[in-house]
Each structure stands twice: as structure tokens, then as C-alpha cells.
Amino acid sequence: MKKFFYPLSIITFVLFGVMLINIKSNWVASLDTTVSKILKGNDVIEFFHYFGETKFIMVITFLLLIWLWIRDHNYRGMMFTLITIAGGNVLNRLIKEWVQRPRPIIPHQLSTFSFPSGHAMIGILYVFTIAYLATEYEASTKRKLTVWLLATIMVILIGLSRVAGSRHFASDVIAGWSIGYTWFIVLVIWYERRRRIINRHSKR
């Protein structure tokens, strides 16, 4: 992965901290209200929440693990996938329990806490994991850019779907994207470091 993506994880971590610290501030409330007015009731965007549902992600993760095993018995890639997605899910739940922010008030609202958005956080983790592993050995820059562009658009739509459906505040989604990206890059750094170590040993 290009090294310039690494510093962005520091920025996203800071952004997550800003959202966390200012969660009850007027400007965050104004942001949430403004974005909600723009997206609320948008059925096209809300449809993408299905791609962030737990059952869907579990199926996709299982298929990804099978693909990694069949393709070249990539056990390191399988471990990377599990730690990134499953570990990210645990991290998301821990943060939610710690912050305990109520969700927007609507009829038949979900009972879990709101900050950060699980759809946004786990969405970016599983979609970016697929994009990363799919382009890991891709030589064509054009194909890489296409895959990552589509992945980014999907991540954005999954996150915004939660605001459109009034399941989350916009600040929840921004925080989910931010901490999700940071967690992803941390695991990518670990994965690529392990790959370099293994490659050095194999050449001896």
C-alpha cells in the first residue's frame, strides 16, 4: 500500500478524537441537524444499509476467507481479515459502551448506542480489506484506482444510509469512518511488516 495513506490514519484518529470530545457541542449538533435534513428519507441512499448489516458482512467475510485459502493458502491474509473485521467489531462495541450516546429519537429505534456508527466503521473495514487484498499484487494502476474508487463510494453510501434512515447522527458516521480507517491502516502496517519479514527469511 502506498505510504502516503499512512499519515492519513493519524488525521482520521485526530478527527475521531475531535468528534468524541465535542459530541455535545453546538457545532456538532448543528452538523447533525443539517446533514439529517439533507439525507433523511432518501430511499436510494438508505438502501445501502443492507451492505452494512452484520449477517451480510459475516457472509462476505466467510467467502473472503474461503477465497484466500483456495487461491494460495494465504493464512496471513486470513488472519489479517479476521483481526481487521472481527477485531474492529469488538472495538466498535467497546467504544459504544464507553461513550453511551443515545441514537436519534424515532419510533422503533434500535436499542444499542449510537457513537460511533457500526455500519460506517465495519463497512470501511470489510470493504477496504476486500479492496486491499484484491489489489495486493495487481500491477495495473488503472485497475487499482478503479477498485479503490468503487470501494470508497460504497463505504460512503453505507455510512450515509444510516443518517438517511435516522439510525445515526452524521457525527456518528464521521467518527465510524475515522476510527475504522485508523484501525485498518494499523493492521495494514502489521500485515506488510510481517510479509517483509517472511520474504527476507525465504530468501536466506
Give yes or no for residue 186 having a pLDDT over 80.
Answer: yes
Give the mean model confidence (pLDDT) for residues 172-197. 90
Peptide bond into 102 cis (omega under 30): no
Averaged pLDDT of the chain: 91
Q: Which of 188, 38, 190, 66 is nearest to 128 (CA)?
A: 188
Question: DSSP letter string over the chain?
Answer: --TTHHHHHHHHHHHHHHHHHTTTSHHHHHHHHHHHHHHTT-HHHHGGGGGGSHHHHHHHHHHHHHHHHHHH--HHHHHHHHHHHHHHHHHHHHHHHHH-PPPP--TT--SS--SS-HHHHHHHHHHHHHHHHHTTT---HHHHHHHHHHHHHHHHHHHHHHHHTTSS-HHHHHHHHHHHHHHHHHHHHHHHHHHHHHHHHHT-
Give me the pLDDT at residue 187, please: 94
pLDDT tens, residue by residue, 14-39: 999 999 999 999 999 999 999 999 99
What's the average model confidence in pLDDT over 162-178? 95
Cβ atoms of 126 and 176 within 8 Å: the answer is no
pLDDT of residue 197: 67
Percent of the chain whose pLDDT exceeds 90: 75
Is the CA virtual torsion 66, 68, 72, 76 positive or negative? negative
Assess whether pLDDT exceeds 70 at residue 199: no
170-202 helix and 75-99 helix, angle to the nearest 10 degrees: 150
The region of weakest confidence among 7-11, 89-93, 124-128, 135-139 is 135-139
CA–CA distance, 62 with 52 (Å, rounded to integer): 15
pTM (2 d.p.) = 0.90
Among positive and negative, which fits the CA dihedral 86, 158, 67, 149? Answer: negative
pLDDT digits (tens, 9 = 90+) for 57-99: 999 999 999 999 998 888 888 999 999 999 999 999 999 999 9
178: confidence class by pLDDT, cuts 50, 70, 90: very high
Record the cell numbers describing residue 102, joined without a space: 443515545
Is the model's pLDDT at 118 over the cut of 60?
yes
The residue among 51 and 1 whose pLDDT is bigger is 51
- Alpha-carbon Rg for the chain, nearest whole angstrom, is 18
Does residue 198 surpass a pLDDT of 90?
Answer: no
- Determine the pLDDT at residue 108: 84
CB 151 within 8 A of CB 103: no
What confidence category does residue 122 fall into, taking pLDDT thresholds of 50, 70 and 90? very high
Spatial neighbors of 57 by CB under 8 A, at least 6 apart, are 85, 122, 126
- Measure the CA–CA gap between 145 and 151, rounded to whole angstroms: 10
